[in-house]
C-alpha cells in the first residue's frame, strides 16, 4: 500500500512538471511571435530606422492592415527592452 502512494506521488510530480514545461513553452512562443511581428514591421517600415524598405506602393497598400503592428513597434521603441534579457526572464533561473 505504501509503495502505491509513493508511485502516485512520483506520477503527480511528473504531471506537474509537464504542465510547467508547457506553460514555459507557450510563453516562449508568444514572445517569439511578438518579436517576429516587430521584425516584420521593421522590414516594411524600415525607412524609419534608415534601413532599405520595399517599394512605397506596397507599403501603402499594407498600411491599413498594419495598424496593430505599428502600435506594437512604437511601443517597443518607447520602452526599448533588451531582447536577450526578456528571453532569459521567460526561461527562468536554473
Q: What global pTM score does this model have?
A: 0.49
Please give the Cα distance from 52 to 45 (Å, whole number).
9
Cα first-last separation, the chain: 35
Domain count, the chain: 1
Segment 43-78, tens digit of pLDDT: 777 766 676 777 777 777 877 877 777 777 776 665
- pLDDT above 70 coverage of the chain, percent: 69
Please give the Cα distance from 9 to 42 (Å, whole number).
50
The mean of the pLDDT values for the chain is 76
Owning domain of residue 66: 2-91
Indicate if the pLDDT at residue 9 is higher than 80: yes
- pLDDT, average across residues 87-91: 65
pLDDT of res. 52: 72
- pLDDT, average across residues 9-29: 87
Residue of 56 and 32 predicted with greater confidence: 32
Amino acid at each position: 500500500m505504501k509503495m502505491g502512494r509513493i508511485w502516485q506521488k512520483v506520477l503527480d510530480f511528473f504531471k506537474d512538471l509537464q504542465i510547467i514545461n508547457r506553460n514555459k513553452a507557450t510563453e516562449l512562443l508568444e514572445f517569439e511571435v511578438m518579436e517576429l511581428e516587430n521584425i516584420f514591421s521593421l522590414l516594411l517600415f524600415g525607412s524609419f530606422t534608415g534601413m532599405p524598405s520595399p517599394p512605397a506602393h506596397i507599403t501603402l497598400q499594407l498600411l491599413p492592415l498594419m495598424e496593430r503592428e505599428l502600435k506594437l513597434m512604437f511601443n517597443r521603441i518607447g520602452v526599448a527592452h533588451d531582447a536577450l534579457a526578456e528571453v532569459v526572464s521567460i526561461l527562468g533561473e536554473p
